[in-house]
A and B are shown apart, each in its own frame.
Chain A
Amino acid sequence: MAELDTSGGGHKKGPGVKKGKKLSTRVDLTPMVDLGFLLITFFIFTTTMSQPTALKLFLPDDKITDEPNKAKESGVLTILMGADNHIYYYEGQLKPDGSNFLSASYNGENSIRDVILKKKADVRSRSRDTENPYKDFVVVIKPGAECNYKNLIDILDEMAINVVKKYALVDISDGESQLVKISDASSQTSASN
């Protein structure tokens, strides 16, 4: 099978009598099978690759105000997001002189993940509650007006990655937003120099 008959026309009948060559109808199908399976693999891969996932978020109800969530100062980490993927943080309360207002990055050196993990370990070492050592650990996320949606998702994702159980999305205050703006501007000028 699968080859062309090239054995010629057999014996000659005589001068002037032409006989059509008997060609086999069989063709080698191997390349066609190859192609078929190649396309199958392509379609299998393209069908399952792009399934979007969903990140869940639960909002607090603004109307329930009887019991505000009081967090211990020592266990609070506040993350602020500014323009151009800048990110800042401070632990506990922001000091009036802004000395504990520090800068971090989304990934790479001095990443926010390290900051979160450091704070988490810190809370754990100081906690006397053995059952739930992370009870006092709260991350407050304050996105500035200039940060984009990706930054927000990245931070919420960071909460999932580092298994932070308690976090809150809070509006940025005027003072903090000023501080973020100034820091954004200063890092911009230092980058352009």
Chain B
Amino acid sequence: MGRAKLPRKSTNIDMTAMCDVAFLLLSFFILTTKFKPAEAIAVETPSSVASKVAPNKDFVLVTIDKDGKVFLTMDDEQKKELVANTVNSERNLGINVAAFKKAGFIGAPLNGLNSFLSIPEENRKGDQLPGIPCKDSTNNELTYWMQVVKAAYAGEKMDLLLKGDNIAKYPAFKNVIAAFKKNELLKFQMVTNPENAPEGSELWKMSMQGIKQDN
């Protein structure tokens, strides 16, 4: 009976090291994740096959909510200050520049801007605010806003974004476009959710061949 006996080894491994790594990675991802902030203006964007990621720096965003109300968002605080000062000097509104700089978005007519800025930030909800008047060409305050914003960005790169709700009616969109056109802002981008090109379509064939779409 000269059979050699293999020594029995334990199948248990020390999990401590692996656990350490797992939780290190976990804490890294938790800390780097930016959760989608609770949006003050509820907008459900449509989806498109556009593959270009929307810029998230130096943008000027015009939002149309489901009732066709228009809001203006800017991310650059310096530009915001410039805009506030220009509006103050041209329209004599005496708005609070510091509050304007901190405001996440603008959603009130010019004459109601002061009372809008006095509402605490967390209580500004898109559905309770009047929005920027942009109904027709005679009372289109957005035209004025875009003029001031354009002047503030004079010569610098500015990404004009338009974000509309699925069920916003077309006339609201048309009025916003009219305001852009009046200021010769002819290039803009519409924020959408990504979507794949339908199988079998020409775009799909092109992407299969590795041709990049130009829009």
- Measured between alpha carbons, how far is A44 from B30 in the docked complex, in Å? 9
Contacts of A4 in B (CB 8 A): none
* Most A C-beta atoms less than 10 A away, residue of B33, B50, B194: B50
- Measured between alpha carbons, how far is A161 from B33 in the docked complex, in Å? 33
**Which listed residue (B46, B165, B167, B204) contacts A154, Cβ 8 A?**
B46
* Most B C-beta atoms less than 10 A away, residue of A30, A58, A148, A152: A148
Q: Say yes or no for A59: interface residue by CB 8 A criterion.
A: yes
Whether A55 pairs with B192 at a CB distance below 8 angstroms is yes
| Chain A, 2-46, CB within 8 A of any chain B CB | 2-3, 28-30, 32-33, 36-37, 39-40, 43-44, 46
- Measured between alpha carbons, how far is A36 from B50 in the docked complex, in Å? 35
**Which listed residue (A32, A54, A55) contacts B55, Cβ 8 A?**
A54
Contacts of B52 in A (CB 8 A): 53-54, 56
A55-B166 contact in complex given A36-B22, A153-B190, C-beta closer than 8 Å: no
A61-B170 contact in complex given A53-B193, A55-B192, C-beta closer than 8 Å: no
Whether A40 pairs with B29 at a CB distance below 8 angstroms is yes
Q: Say yes or no for A109: interface residue by CB 8 A criterion.
A: no
Main secondary structure of the interface of A (DSSP, over half): mixed
Whether A157 pairs with B22 at a CB distance below 8 angstroms is no
| Chain B, 153-209, CB within 8 A of any chain A CB | 161, 164-174, 177, 180-181, 184, 186-195, 197-198, 201-204, 206
Contacts of A108 in B (CB 8 A): none
Q: Say yes or no for A156: interface residue by CB 8 A criterion.
A: yes
A37-B22 contact in complex given A43-B29, A54-B189, C-beta closer than 8 Å: yes
Q: Say yes or no for A47: interface residue by CB 8 A criterion.
A: yes
Contacts of A161 in B (CB 8 A): 49, 197-198, 201-204
Contacts of A46 in B (CB 8 A): 33
**Which listed residue (B49, B170, B177, B191) contacts A145, Cβ 8 A?**
B170
* Most B C-beta atoms less than 10 A away, residue of A3, A33, A53: A53
Considering only CB atoms, which chain B residue lies closest to A154 in the complex?
B46
Contact string against A for B residues 36-75, beta-carbon threshold 8 Å, 1 for contact and 0 otherwise: 1000000001111111111100000000100000000000
Whether A149 pairs with B173 at a CB distance below 8 angstroms is yes
Question: Nearest chain B CB to A169's CB is how many angstroms away?
Answer: 8
Whether B53 pairs with A51 at a CB distance below 8 angstroms is yes
Contacts of A47 in B (CB 8 A): 29, 32-34
- Measured between alpha carbons, how far is A60 from B19 in the docked complex, in Å? 59
Could you tell me which A residues sit within 8 Å of B by CB distance?
1-3, 28-30, 32-33, 36-37, 39-40, 43-44, 46-47, 50-62, 81, 113, 143-154, 156-157, 160-163, 171
7 A-B residue pairings within 8 Å (CB atoms): A33-B15, A47-B34, A55-B192, A59-B177, A156-B190, A162-B202, A163-B206
